A and B are shown apart, each in its own frame.
Chain A
Amino acid sequence: MTAKTLFEKIWDAHVVAAESTDTPAILYVDLHLVHEVTSPQAFTELRERGLKLRRPERMLATLDHSTPTLPTAANGERPYANDEAKAQVAQLESNCREFGVALHGWDSADRGIVHVIGPELGVTQPGMTIVCGDSHTSTHGAFGALAFGIGTTEVGHVMATQCLLQRRPKTLAIHVDGQLPQGVGAKDLILHIIGQIGVDGGTGHVIEYRGPAIAALSMEQRMTVCNMSIEAGARAGLIAPDETTFAWLQGRPQAPQGAAWDAAVARWRRLPTDAGARFDREVRIDATAVKPTVTYGTHPGMAIAMDAPVPPARNAQEKRALEYMQSQPGQPMQGMPVDVVFIGSCTNSRLSDLREAANVLRGRRVASRVRMLVVPGSEAVRRDAEREGLHQVFTAAGAEWRVPGCSMCIAMNGDLAQPGQLVVSTSNRNFEGRQGKGARTVLASPATAAASAVAGSIADPRDYLVEVAA
C-alpha cells in the first residue's frame, strides 16, 4: 500500500466524485459550523430557490462576531453596537428555527466563539472534514481534522448538498525540532513560523505541523498553532491525533461513548502520516531558538523576537507599515508604550490562555495608562475560569472581565481601540484598522499581553514569571 500523509487519508475518505482535468472533486463535509456574519445570504439563497438543508444535524450554529460582550442591561436590552448587528443576530436565530439548525444562542450554556465551542462540545473529531464561513476554521486541524474557511456561496453549497467543489491542495510539512524554551508558548511559535515562511508561505497548501515540539503541545496550544495557519496563507493546518487528542476528547458531550468510543479511537489511530509518505514541500523550524515573539508591522508575517531590533523596511509597503505602527527600525518592540491589552479571540481565549495571563497578573496591577479587556472564548471557559477565581485576578488587577465573543479581534461589536492607540492583542490579525480605524495592533501571547498590561509597555513575560518563582 502506498504511504499516505494525514491529509491524503482524510481527503481520500471524503471524495464523493473524483477530480478530473475539467472538474474539481466533490468533497463530502462532515461538520458545518455557522455564525451570524457569513450565513444570512446563504440562507436567503436557499429560501429563494426552495431548497432545504441536506443534513441539518451536521450543522452547528452560534452567535459570536456581532454580539456584545457587556452584560445585558437591567431592562433586558443587550448592548448591541447598532441596530444592524442586532438584526443580524435575530436573523440567524430565525433562520435556525426555520431550517432546523441547532443554535447555541443567547439562552445556551454552551454559546461562544465557534472555534472554541466545536472542540469543547466534542463535535470536532479526528479525520473529519469541517468547514465554516470563517478563515480561522483551520483551528480544528489541531484534532487531525481537515478544516478550512469558505465563502458564503460555498456555505450555501454545503447547506444544500453537504459537499464542496475542491481541487486537491498541495501539502507542506513544517517540522518543529527540539522543545520550546521555558516561558515560550504556542503563540510565540506560530508567530515565529509565520515570520519565517511569510504570509503567503502556505498559499495553495495544507500544512501538517510535525516533530517533537508539536507532539509536546497541549490540545489548546495545538489549536493556537493551527488557528493561525491561514495567516501564512495556508488552506488548512493539521496535527496528527495522538494520546493527547484522545484524552482531551474523551467524555465530551458529543464525543462517541462506550464501544463507539473504542471503535473511533481505533480508526483515529490509523490517521497519522505513514512513514515514507511524501509532502510537496518541507520546512524545518528549530523550537529551541524561539523567543517571546511579537509583530511590529501590519501583517502577521512581520514578526520578531521582542528583544530583536525592528528590521529596516525592504519596500514601500513595509515603510508604510512601520510608519503606521510608529515602530522604529533598529529599536526593539520591547518598551513601546501600550494603551490597550486584549486577551481573547479564537486564537487565545481558552482556559489555559486565561491561566497564563492570570499567572502574570496575580497580585499585580494593570498600569494606569492601559485599558485591559479579558474576553473568554465561551460560556464554558467563563464558568471554568470563574470557578478557579481567575475573573477575580483580572478584575483585582484592573482589567474588564467580559461575556464571550470575538470582541476586539474583529472589532465589529463595539469593542474597539481608538485611532493611534497601541493594542497588545492575543488575537490573530494586526492588519491596518482591524481593531478600530487607525488602531495599531501588536500580536502576542497571553503571557506577553499580561506582562505588557502591568508594565504599560511591551514587556517580556519571562521577567514576571521568574519573579513569581523566586
Chain B
Amino acid sequence: MKPVTRIHSRTAVLADENIDTDRIIPARFLTTTTREGLGRLCFHDWRYQADGSDNPAFPLNQPQAQSCAILVAGQNFGCGSSREHAPWALLDYGIQAVLCSELADIFRNNALKNGLLAITVSEGEHRWLLEHPGSELAIDVRGEFIELPDGGRIAFQLEPFARHCLLHGVDQLGYLLQHADAITRYEQQHQEQVA
C-alpha cells in the first residue's frame, strides 16, 4: 500500500443515508476475479440511465462534482454486504476519502486496508459538510484534522494502527507474518481447541 498522508480536494455529496455496498457496486459485477478496473461500475445503477448514458440526477454526475476526491456521504455509508469490491470501485473511480457521521464496520475496515480514508466526524460537522458540497478541504492524516475553507479545523480520530499503516504504507499481512512464532505457540498451547 502506498502511504497516504494528506488529501486535498473539493467535496462531492451523496446525502442519502444507508447507502449500501450493493448501491456502490451491484452484485452482478462481482463475478470479476481481479481488483482492478471497477471504477466504471461504481454506483452503476444510480449513475447511468437505461441506455447507458449518464443519469443527470446522480449527484456525482454534476459538473461541479467532477474530479472530487472527497465524498461526504449520508449516515451509515457502506452498510450491507462485506464486498471489498466497494472500496476498490470507489478508489478506482477517484474517491480517496469518505466522510460520514457513522460508517458501517466492515466497509470502514475494508476501506482503510486499501488506503481509502474512511473518517467519521460529529453529527454537527457532518451536517455542515452535507450542506456545503464543493468545499475545498485538506485532510491531514498525521495531525488527524480536516482543514476547512475558512481555515477552521475538524478533528477526527483514526484507529491508531490503521493510521500508522496509512502514514507509512505498512503492509498488514507482512506485520502479521512477523508474528508467526507467537501464532505457533498459540497453536501448541491450544491443541484441544485447535484440534
Which residues of A pack against B, CB within 8 Å?
Answer: 13, 16-17, 21-24, 26, 28, 30, 37-38, 40-41, 44-45, 49, 51, 54, 65-66, 81-82, 84-85, 87-88, 91, 127, 133-135, 149-154, 156-157, 160-163, 165, 167, 169, 199-200, 203-204, 230-231, 233, 235, 263, 267, 299, 301, 315-317, 320, 410-412, 429, 431-434, 437
Contact = CB atoms under 8 A, between A and B. Distances in A.
B179 A429 contact: no
Contacts of A134: 82
A38 B124 CA distance: 37
Nearest to A164: B176
Interface stretch (B29-37, B59-67, B90-98, B135-143): B29-37
The residue in B35, B173, B180 that gathers the most chain A C-beta atoms within 10 A of its C-beta is: B173
A154 B172 CA distance: 9
Contacts of A24: 159, 161
B176 A163 contact: yes
Contacts of B45: 432-433, 437
B113 to A, nearest CB: 4
B137 to A, nearest CB: 24
Interface string B150-194: 000000000111001000000011011101101100110010111
A157 B106 contact: no
Contacts of A410: 27, 81
Nearest to B110: A151
A5 B179 CA distance: 28
Contact of B179 (A17, A38, A88): A17
Interface in B1-47: 15-18, 20, 22-23, 26-28, 30-35, 45
A233 B33 contact: no
A162 B194 CA distance: 11
Nearest to A435: B27
A135 B80 contact: yes
A26 B45 CA distance: 39
Contacts of A169: 105
B109 A157 contact: no
A150 B105 CA distance: 10
A299 B18 contact: yes
Interface of B: 15-18, 20, 22-23, 26-28, 30-35, 45, 74-76, 79-84, 87, 102, 104-106, 109-110, 113-114, 159-161, 164, 172-173, 175-177, 179-180, 182-183, 186-187, 190, 192-194
B28 to A, nearest CB: 5
B81 A82 contact: no
Contact of B183 (A22, A28, A51, A315): A28
B124 to A, nearest CB: 17
Contact of B20 (A37, A316, A431): A431
A26 B82 contact: no
B30 A65 contact: yes
Contact of A157 (B20, B172, B194): B172
Given A38-B83, A161-B179, A431-B23, A320 B16 contact: yes
A450 to B, nearest CB: 25
Nearest to A301: B18
B31 A82 contact: yes
Given A37-B30, A38-B84, A149-B82, A434 B22 contact: yes
Contacts, number: 180
Contacts of B30: 37, 65-66, 412
Given A41-B35, A299-B20, A149 B182 contact: no
Contacts of A317: 16-18, 74
A127 B102 CA distance: 30
A151 B34 contact: no
Contacts of A84: 31-32
Contacts of A433: 22-23, 26, 45
A74 to B, nearest CB: 25
B160 A21 contact: yes
Contacts of A135: 80-82, 106
A16 B193 contact: no
Contacts of A233: 76, 79, 104-105
Contacts of B159: 24, 167
B179 A26 contact: yes
A433 B43 CA distance: 12
A421 to B, nearest CB: 15
Nearest to B111: A151
A335 B56 CA distance: 35
Given A127-B193, A199-B76, A412-B31, A150 B82 contact: yes
B29 to A, nearest CB: 8
Contact of A41 (B34, B80, B160): B34
Nearest to B84: A151
Nearest to A49: B173
A169 B108 CA distance: 14
A22 B161 contact: yes
Given A16-B183, A38-B83, A151-B113, A30 B33 contact: no
A432 B28 contact: no
28 contacts: A13-B193, A16-B179, A16-B186, A21-B160, A28-B187, A30-B193, A38-B82, A38-B83, A38-B84, A40-B34, A41-B34, A66-B31, A151-B110, A161-B173, A167-B159, A200-B75, A203-B105, A233-B79, A233-B105, A316-B15, A316-B16, A320-B16, A410-B27, A412-B27, A429-B81, A431-B22, A433-B45, A434-B27
Given A16-B182, A200-B76, A431-B20, 8 more contacts: A22-B161, A30-B193, A151-B84, A153-B172, A161-B183, A200-B18, A204-B105, A233-B104
